[in-house]
Amino acid sequence: MDKFDIIVIGKGLVGSAAAKYLSFKNKKIAIIGPQEPLDYNKSIVFASHYDQARVQRLIGKDSVWTRLNLESVNQYQTIQEQSGIHFHDPTGCLYVNPTGEDSYLYQAASLASDFKLTFKPYPTGSAIVNDFSAYHFPESSKGLLEQSPAGLINPRLLLKAQLAVFDQHQGININDTILDITHHNHGYTVTSHDGNIYHASEILLAAGSFVNFFNLSAQKLDLKLKNEIILLARLNPEQTKELAKLPSLLYEIDNGTTEGIYLIKPVQYPDGNYYIKMGCNMPEDIYFDNIEQVQQWFRNGNSDQFINRLKQELLKILPNIEPLAYLTKRCIINRSIHGRPYIGETHQPGLYVASGCNGYSAMCSDAIGRVASHLLLNKKLPENYAVKDFEIFYQ
The CATH number for 99's domain is 3.30.9.10
> Do 287 and 224 contact (CB within 8 A), yes or no?
yes
Q: Establish if 180 belongs to a structural domain.
A: yes
Residues 167 and 285 in one domain: no
Pick the last residue of a domain from 320, 335, 350. Answer: 335
Residues 110 and 186 in one domain: no
Residues 294 and 379 in one domain: no
Residues 83 and 115 in one domain: yes
Cβ neighbours of residue 76 closer than 8 Å, sequence gap 6 or more: 87, 88, 149, 153, 366
Amino acid 346 reads T
Range of the domain at 347: 2-43+156-220+339-390
Per-residue model confidence (pLDDT) at position 1: 63
pLDDT in tens, the chain (395 residues): 689 999 999 999 999 999 999 999 989 999 999 999 889 998 999 987 889 999 999 999 999 999 999 999 999 999 999 999 999 999 999 999 999 999 999 999 999 999 999 999 999 999 999 999 999 999 999 999 999 999 999 999 999 999 999 999 999 999 999 999 999 988 999 999 999 999 999 999 999 999 999 999 989 999 999 999 999 999 999 999 999 999 999 999 999 999 999 999 999 999 999 999 999 999 999 999 999 999 999 999 999 999 999 999 999 999 999 999 999 999 999 999 999 999 999 999 999 999 999 999 999 999 999 999 999 999 999 999 999 999 999 99
Long-range CB contacts for residues 375-379, cutoff 8 Å, separation at least 24: 375/343, 375/344, 375/345, 376/6, 376/22, 376/202, 376/204, 376/352, 377/22, 377/25
Per-residue model confidence (pLDDT) at position 47: 86
Per-residue model confidence (pLDDT) at position 2: 87
Q: How many domains does one find in the chain?
A: 2
Residues 244 and 264 in one domain: yes
Cα angle, residue 261 at apex, residues 390 and 41 outer, rounded to 5°: 75
Residues 13 and 85 in one domain: no
Rounded CA gap, 345 and 202, in Å? 10
Q: Establish if 280 belongs to a structural domain.
A: yes
DSSP 9-27: E--SHHHHHHHHHHHTTS-
The CATH number assigned to the domain holding 214 equals: 3.50.50.60
